[in-house]
């Protein structure tokens, strides 16, 4: 019966996700269409002849009725066509892959820092309530999401990059590594290992340390707070008291009954934060000159590149929906109560 309930829940979520994605895509399409101003004129400037503007508008299909634009928009997405940039005239898909892979690599490295740090601080805070470690955990938690991420990045650059000269102040693999490593996954740390180039791996890893520490520390504060509150609540439950009464060692009680059940809310918040990072951590990428999706979208907004903004926001909507689906499925596996 539990497996049947899990299968029904998985099927339901798989059927619901395309509807949610379609809703998000429709909202993106309509919002960008109702914004005031002509996107083509805004991107090419006021001095460009009207004939040229009309030709670009025709190439992009913006002279068609709204319903026809919507149909073309959905059909294009189904075929992997996100449109062309108004500025570079290149396909968004061509420019997307490197930027998205860079943001994915930064998000993964940041979560590798954030989850262990946040969970360990939350665990120590919950199991040492009222003691020095608890106070230290709470102070670090508040400081992590109170400190501006760009300020923290600049401080880390100043300390480790300029004063100690221990780490590079820029993020991402340098051009010398990108050009000599064959692209397989787009993740430079993975591709360098596949290629067997240890020097390229270590060089890329050095450039990933500071941006990953910056984002990881900021996100760890949220995970810390969720983990601490969940652990405190769970450790006060009757079944935990009963486990202690049966003589089960305290460490086993905390890990098996406390931390394991606290993983459910931690997983939820970590999944949502991961989706936000994939959408592009603009401030961190700007601070470390990191060529990710966030800086790509920022540049598109500043240059009023209408099609790139639409494609990037669409991609972000799809990413959030897919990450949310994965989190819900893992959530259902860990907690059978939500399957019914």
pLDDT at 118 over 70: yes
Residue 270, pLDDT score: 86
Q: Which residues, 6+ apart, have CB-to-CB distance to 298 below 8 Å?
A: 280, 282, 286
Mean pLDDT in residue range 332-339: 64
- Average confidence score pLDDT of the chain: 81
pLDDT range class, residue 109, cuts 50, 70, 90: very high
CA distance 21 to 192: 34
Annotate 295-315 with b (16+ C-beta within 10 A) or e (fewer): bbbbebeebbbbbbbbbbbbb
Q: Which helix (H) or strand (E) holds 271?
A: helix 260-278
Three-state secondary structure readout of 24-38: HHHHHHHHHHHCCCC
Q: Are the beta carbons of 232 and 126 closer than 8 angstroms?
A: yes
The residue that leads in pLDDT, 336 or 122, is 122
Q: Are the beta carbons of 303 and 262 closer than 8 angstroms?
A: no
Mean pLDDT in residue range 266-286: 79
Tokens (6 digits) for 116: 């262990």
Residue 159, pLDDT score: 92
pLDDT range class, residue 1, cuts 50, 70, 90: very low
**Weakest mean pLDDT among 60-69, 126-135, 329-338:** 329-338
Q: Which range in 39-43, 82-86, 266-270, 275-279 is most confidently predicted, on average pLDDT? A: 266-270
CA distance 215 to 271: 15
Mean pLDDT in residue range 304-314: 76
DSSP state for residue 158 in the 8-state scheme: I
Q: How far is CA 324 from CA 99, 130, 194, 318, 337, in A?
A: 22, 36, 30, 10, 18
Considering just the CA atoms, what is the radius of gyration of the chain in Å? 24
Mean pLDDT in residue range 1-19: 69
Q: Are the beta carbons of 175 and 184 closer than 8 angstroms?
A: no
């Amino acid at each position: 019966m539990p497996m049947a309930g899990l299968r029904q829940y998985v099927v339901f979520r798989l059927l619901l996700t395309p509807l949610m994605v379609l809703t998000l895509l429709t909202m993106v399409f309509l919002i960008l269409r109702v914004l005031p101003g002509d996107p083509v004129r805004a991107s090419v400037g006021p001095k460009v002849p009207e004939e040229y503007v009309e030709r670009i508008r025709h190439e992009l299909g913006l002279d068609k009725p709204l319903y026809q634009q919507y149909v073309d928009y959905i059909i294009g997405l189904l075929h992997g066509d996100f449109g062309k940039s108004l500025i570079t005239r290149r396909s968004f898909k061509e420019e997307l892959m490197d930027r998205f892979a860079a943001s994915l690599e930064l998000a993964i490295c940041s979560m590798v820092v954030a989850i262990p740090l946040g969970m360990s601080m939350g665990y120590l805070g919950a199991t040492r309530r009222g003691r020095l470690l608890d106070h230290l955990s709470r102070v670090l938690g508040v400081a992590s999401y109170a400190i501006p991420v760009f300020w923290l990045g600049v401080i880390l650059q100043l300390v480790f990059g300029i004063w100690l000269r221990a780490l590079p102040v820029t993020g991402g693999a340098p051009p010398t590594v990108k050009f000599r490593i064959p692209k397989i996954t787009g993740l430079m740390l993975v591709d360098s290992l596949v290629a067997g180039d240890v020097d390229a791996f270590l060089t890329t890893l050095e450039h990933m340390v500071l941006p990953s520490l910056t984002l990881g520390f900021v996100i760890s504060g949220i995970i810390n707070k969720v983990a601490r509150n969940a652990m405190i609540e769970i450790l006060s439950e009757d079944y935990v008291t009963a486990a202690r009464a049966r003589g089960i060692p305290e460490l086993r009680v905390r890990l098996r009954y406390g931390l394991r059940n606290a993983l459910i809310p931690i997983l939820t918040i970590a999944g949502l934060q991961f989706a936000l990072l994939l959408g592009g951590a603009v401030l961190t990428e700007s601070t470390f000159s990191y060529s990710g999706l966030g800086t790509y979208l920022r540049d598109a907004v500043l240059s009023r590149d209408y099609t790139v903004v639409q494609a990037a926001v669409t991609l972000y909507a799809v990413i959030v929906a897919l990450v949310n689906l994965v989190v819900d499925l893992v959530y259902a596996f860990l907690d059978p109560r939500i399957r019914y």
